[in-house]
Amino acid sequence: MIKRRDFLKHSVAASALFGLQSRLAFARAQTDSRFVFVLLRGAMDGLAAVPAYADSAYRKQRGSLAIAKPGSVNGALDMDGFFGLHPSLPELHRMYQQKEVIVAHAVASSYRERSHFDAQKQLENGTGCPLGAKDGWLNRALTNLSGSSMDAIALSQNIPLVLHGDAKVNSWSPAVLPEADSDTLARIARMYERDDFFFEQFESALKTRAMAGEPDKSGMTGRRMGRGKQSMDAFVRASGRFLQDEDGPRIAVLESNGWDTHANQGAHTGQLANKFSQLDANLALLKKELGKVWENTVVVVVSEFGRTVAVNGSNGSDHGTAGAAFILGGAVNGGRVVADWPGLGNSNLYQRRDLKPTLDVRAIFKSVLHDHLQISTKVLNKTVFPDSDRVTGLRDIIIA
């Protein structure tokens, strides 16, 4: 039987170890291609992010949520003479002008109800219903990537459903426990040096922390926001460092919460404009942190569904159907909007209230996985996105 003193010794050491917030070791990846999946939880308003300002019904339908035309005070940032970007997305617009961004509109999964929980489950499991699978499409993709050591990491306190499954994955988040000082780390190392399992885990934790740019043995701490909360930029910075490392993962998943804008949404200013500013800054930061590997990177930004076209009685918008998605990166053949635009007239709306979906979000995922990460169409249709033969990928979104 284990002695109480030994149990306490190992428990304290384990607390310090797991305070480093790492799981598993990374194997050397077999590709230079990087993929970052960004999930905006809460249903981002796609018509606010990407206003169809030239649609004749746009201003009437959106009411107080409408964004002014390009060239006006606080107007949209023009893209193609029909669509613009919200004025709080200048960095994304700059990347669009540099042909590093594709905007997809009228996008949705095949989910047609209005539950955040079910919509996110279906988006992440990659099937035709919320209960279609217990694992995630990105984890299933991992098992079919060329080379056997393509790891993925979730920049989150918990691994999201999209990465659940048989393939090994990693997670990282800034430590919420007090940082172990150099003396403590040395003591733990000596304690574990004769235990192969614990010593391997300890070395893995230190390596993961070093990749993320976490404090070294000097005990310096990273920036935090509030009790138990870390600023999004900490996760973005870490993802850049992980993906730059030669021995690091090649796929990262980031999450952003707080996109549910039922009340006081605002137009060019306000609650949603502030969220767009944060997203814009973080996407620009991701590009900066990725450095030279940006040219081999694709980032996909999606939300579980869009929002109603019309403003509600609380000056916000309710749960909708289709929305907008962003595909960006140095490997993207960008500078364009992809949309089979259904129109915003009453007769064109889904259930006479929502932007009608004309593009299955799985088409975006399939394009990236096939053209960027070299997964075969057969595997995508049968394994990664089961029974999705009718969903065909977009053409020419990746630089050849």
Residue 16 lies in a domain: no
Whether residue 30 contacts residue 149, with contact meaning beta carbons closer than 8 Å, is answered with yes
- pLDDT at 369 (0 to 100): 97
C-beta neighbour count of 149 within 10 angstroms: 15
pLDDT tens by residue, 220-271? 233 333 333 457 899 999 999 999 998 899 999 999 999 999 999 999 999 9
Mean pLDDT, rounded, for 94-116: 98
Residue 156 lies in a domain: no
- pLDDT at 193 (0 to 100): 64
Mean pLDDT, rounded, for 180-199: 60
Confidence band, pLDDT 50/70/90 cuts, at residue 30: low
Q: What is the DSSP letter of 110?
A: S
**CA 366, CA 372: separation in Å to the nearest integer?**
10
- pLDDT at 76 (0 to 100): 98
SS3 364: helix
Is 13 a residue whose pLDDT tops 50? no
Residue 280 lies in a domain: yes
Tokens of 45: 């308003």
Residue 174 lies in a domain: no
Residue 51 lies in a domain: yes
Count CA atoms closer than 13 A to 392's CA, side-chain side: 2
Residue 82 lies in a domain: yes
Burial of 43 (0-12, 13-18, 19+ CB in 10 A): buried
Whether residue 185 contacts residue 65, with contact meaning beta carbons closer than 8 Å, is answered with no
Whether residue 120 contacts residue 137, with contact meaning beta carbons closer than 8 Å, is answered with no
Specify the number of domains making up the chain. Answer: 1
Residue 57 lies in a domain: yes
Q: For the ranges 149-153, 296-300, 340-344, which has the lowest average pLDDT? A: 149-153
Is 10 a residue whose pLDDT tops 90? no
Is 204 a residue whose pLDDT tops 90? no
Is 92 a residue whose pLDDT tops 70? yes
- pLDDT at 183 (0 to 100): 57
**CA 116, CA 228: separation in Å to the nearest integer?**
24
**CA 93, CA 90: separation in Å to the nearest integer?**
5
C-beta neighbour count of 128 within 10 angstroms: 16
Residue 208 lies in a domain: no
Residue 63's domain spans which residues? 31-150+250-384
Whether residue 39 contacts residue 255, with contact meaning beta carbons closer than 8 Å, is answered with yes
The pLDDT > 70 percentage for the chain reads: 77
Is 139 a residue whose pLDDT tops 90? yes
C-alpha 42: how far from its chain's center? 13
In Å, how far are 119, 319, 325 from 262, measured between CA atoms? Answer: 17, 8, 20
**For residue 95, which amino acid is it?**
M
**CA 108, CA 111: separation in Å to the nearest integer?**
8
Three-class secondary structure assignment of 23-45: CCCCCCCCCCCEEEEEEECCCCC
Whether residue 138 contacts residue 375, with contact meaning beta carbons closer than 8 Å, is answered with no
Compute the mean pLDDT over every residue in the chain, rounded to the nearest whole number: 86
Q: Which residues lie below 8 Å from residue 59, measured CB to CB, with a gap of 6+? A: 53, 66
Is 121 a residue whose pLDDT tops 80? yes
Three-class secondary structure assignment of 286-337: HHHHHHHHHHHEEEEEEECCCEECCCCCCCCCCECCCEEEEEECCCECCCEE
Tokens of 391: 């969903």
Is 26 a residue whose pLDDT tops 60? no
